[in-house]
Structure 1
Amino acid sequence: MLSPTLRLPRPEQVLDARSTLAIADADEAEEQIAKLFCDHRLEPLEAGGHVDLKLRSAQTPSVGVHLLDYGAGVRISPRALESFFLLQMPLQGRATMVCGNETVKSDARVATLPPVDRDFSMTWEAGTPQLILYAALPAMEQAAQKMFGAELSGGLRLGHSLDLKGAAGQALLRAAFEFHDAVNGADPSAYTLKLLEEAVLQRWLLAVPNNVGHSLGQWEGGLAPAGAVASSNGATARLVRRFNELLERHFTEDVMVSELAEALGVPLRTLQAAVAAETGSTPTALLRTSRLLRARRMLEECEPSEQSVTMIAQACGFGHLGRFAQAYYAAFGEVPSATLRS
């Protein structure tokens, strides 16, 4: 069954449990956003030069999500980002980014990714609140090395636009929304955050052309299997069997797919291709099943007076109780609270 197409949320839904910073002065808005991202020049395009900035943020050292709305048409001229990547998604309205000879127009269907290695400029029309995804450059480069199994030469470079309606864009949105829901006013466990951050970074790398994947011939526009293993064979079956053995062996531990790929001595992309060829699934999905089994065992063995469904879900790396309950019911045919009471 095909998953329903994900739509961008309304502005009021983004980080709605977080406080909103409101600024009316353009100079003050420029200063505040410079602290959050980087130095830039902000030019209001409307008479009077005023803005009505609204900002909500939630960020870890590796990944962040922000709602940014200037409340007016503006031109933004930053320097090269250098130390981080951004994915900018207009929730309404339209925006344009110019970097060198390239012009990228964005709306709710197309996101922009500013360059990290050169200056650029952007024009946001009035009424263009944006959902912004942030990734620290070191975290993204580390994810790329694990994904493609190659040392970076000259740094990581990404394409400057993304089709949010395509399969790869939808997969990234799904990971981003799960990260958003976990950090929106909540206090997720360290394991949950690691899982969600890894998912965002991996899906980002799979969704956007990059110099590392292209140099290895491993970027195919998103989710198609790529890398050293392209079809089911004896080596593929052995790799998947070893992966499943590791999942069983580390059933009760806070493991990551990237850690398991490293233990197997293969790039993550190779493991993804092998699992897809053998099972039609993904390593992340198999790990998710393992975490559901871990949660079921904990629910069966714990005392209801000492543990709760929420506590066990977080311990097993689930950041959103509703999604956990749905996945649990799909896997076991009952809600988590029923298992806890039995």
Structure 2
Amino acid sequence: MESPLLSERSRVFERADPYAVSTYVNQHVGVHHIRLPRFGHPEACLDHRKFASLDLCRISYGGEVRVTSQALESVFHLQILLRGHCVWRRGRDERVLGPGELLLINPDEPVDLAYSADCEKFILKLPTRLLDSVCDEQRWQRPSAGVRFIHSHYQLLALEGFAGLLAMVCQEAESSEPLLRVQEHYSQIVASKLLTLMPNNVSREALGSHAVSFERLLDYIERNLHQDIHSEALARQASMSLRSLYGLFERHVGTTPKLYIRQKKLERIHASLADPASPVRNITELALDYGFTHLGRFADTYKQLFGELPSDTLKRRH
């Protein structure tokens, strides 16, 4: 596969010890382990660029190599095979990938890949926070457990415009006068493109669409209880008037958005105080964490709702 993805201008290692290259990859791309044949002297090459929050890497080990890694936790790992072939294993599943095929690994998935001696690959590392920020900016609904892609394997040319986008990103990464603002813009586009091209667990239906349910609004509140959610901001988020928002809450829960949010915050605090496994250092810190700055009023409201003071709840769990 002919590829414009990085060039010798990004060269870090050429005809180098594969283990030296592996050490560099561990530091900049992702923690992994390599296993090489016992015989021979393979020579590895590596091109690498940091691009805003992304890492771009083109690598060949010069010999058959098996790469394994535990879950990368906070990173999405995308690989495009440029030359040779690769065997990808996940549990009992096994697939052979060839040039032009793409592999996308979620943060909680372990890595087990075996590459041919002539294999060369391009790696794109994306932090989870980048995809989260795109979802938040677009008002797309993502599960609290995090964004996850459903499929792992794709044909690059079947992903409309993605190959060209990566080529532009690599060209910009190798620019003699890189601009961080431009790089950040491209990074957002790459993340947005992934979320629109590849099936995932994100709902791209805006909060304000006609199909939105009241449960979706409640889910938004539940995921943002640590924030100061004003009724006006919630109405804007839902693309409805303040009057409509109040009517919606009155019909469904019989109270105002403000009182509903306050009750949910108090319920979350009560659950933390009552749970022996919850690391609560002190009540004041917990109350402030949920936006209750007037501690006397907080204690009174808490007692009205639960019939006891916060300190009583904390004592009972010991």
Question: Under a length normalisation based on structure 2, what TM-score does the superposition of the two structures give?
Answer: 0.59
2:42, 2:62 within 8 Å by CA — same for their partners in 1? Answer: yes
* Structure 2 residue 99 is matched with structure 1 residue 99: no
* Structure 2 residue 3 is matched with structure 1 residue 9: yes
Mapped partners of 2:139, 2:84: distance in 1? 36
Q: Alignment identity in percent?
A: 18
1:96, 1:103 within 8 Å by CA — same for their partners in 2? Answer: yes
Provide closer, same or farther for how the CA distance between residues 20 and 171 of structure 1 changes in structure 2, counting only shifts above 3 A.
same
Match of 1:134 among 114, 119, 125: 125
Name the structure 1 match of 2:112.
Answer: 121
Name the structure 1 match of 2:27.
Answer: 35
Look up the SS of the partner of 1:34 in the other structure.
helix
Name the structure 2 match of 1:164.
Answer: 156
Name the structure 2 match of 1:59.
Answer: 50
List alignment gaps of at least 5 residues for structure 2. Answer: 212-235, 240-318
1:56-93 residue CA offsets vs partner (Å, 9 max, x unmatched) = 11113422221111111110011111121121111111
Look up the SS of the partner of 1:134 in the other structure.
strand
Within-5 A mapping of 1:164-243? 164-166=156-158, 169-213=159-203, 228=209
Look up the SS of the partner of 2:184 in the other structure.
helix
Amino acid at match of 1:9: S
Match of 1:112 among 93, 100, 103: 103
Residue 41 of structure 1 and its aligned partner are, at CA, apart by: 1.9
Provide closer, same or farther for how the CA distance between residues 26 and 195 of structure 1 changes in structure 2, counting only shifts above 3 A.
closer
Provide closer, same or farther for how the CA distance between residues 26 and 180 of structure 1 changes in structure 2, counting only shifts above 3 A.
closer
Amino acid at match of 1:41: H
Name the structure 2 match of 1:310.
Answer: none
Name the structure 2 match of 1:221.
Answer: none
1:16, 1:184 within 8 Å by CA — same for their partners in 2? Answer: no
1:157, 1:210 within 8 Å by CA — same for their partners in 2? Answer: yes
Mapped partners of 1:182, 1:229: distance in 2? 40
Question: Under a length normalisation based on structure 1, what TM-score does the superposition of the two structures give?
Answer: 0.55
1:43, 1:76 within 8 Å by CA — same for their partners in 2? Answer: yes
2:6, 2:171 within 8 Å by CA — same for their partners in 1? Answer: no
Look up the SS of the partner of 2:56 in the other structure.
strand
1:168-202 residue CA offsets vs partner (Å, 9 max, x unmatched) = x2322222111111111422333322321111111
1:51, 1:70 within 8 Å by CA — same for their partners in 2? Answer: yes
Mapped partners of 1:229, 1:68: distance in 2? 48
Mapped partners of 2:108, 2:15: distance in 1? 30
1:121-168 residue CA offsets vs partner (Å, 9 max, x unmatched) = 0011111111112211111222233345214321111231122121xx
Provide closer, same or farther for how the CA distance between residues 229 and 18 of structure 1 changes in structure 2, counting only shifts above 3 A.
farther
1:74, 1:125 within 8 Å by CA — same for their partners in 2? Answer: yes
1:18, 1:185 within 8 Å by CA — same for their partners in 2? Answer: no
Mapped partners of 1:188, 1:103: distance in 2? 40
Amino acid at match of 1:36: H
Mapped partners of 1:141, 1:104: distance in 2? 30
List alignment gaps of at least 5 residues for structure 1. Answer: 1-6, 219-226, 231-263, 268-342
Look up the SS of the partner of 2:168 in the other structure.
helix
Provide closer, same or farther for how the CA distance between residues 155 and 22 of structure 1 changes in structure 2, counting only shifts above 3 A.
same
Mapped partners of 1:50, 1:79: distance in 2? 27
Mapped partners of 2:22, 2:10: distance in 1? 21
1:181-232 residue CA offsets vs partner (Å, 9 max, x unmatched) = 111142233332232111111111122221224xx6x6xxxxxxxx9489xx
Amino acid at match of 1:193: Q
Amino acid at match of 2:111: F
What RMSD over aligned residues (CA atoms) do the two structures have, in Å? 2.8
- Report which of the two structures shows the higher radius of gyration computed on alpha carbons: 2
Residue 117 of structure 1 and its aligned partner are, at CA, apart by: 0.5
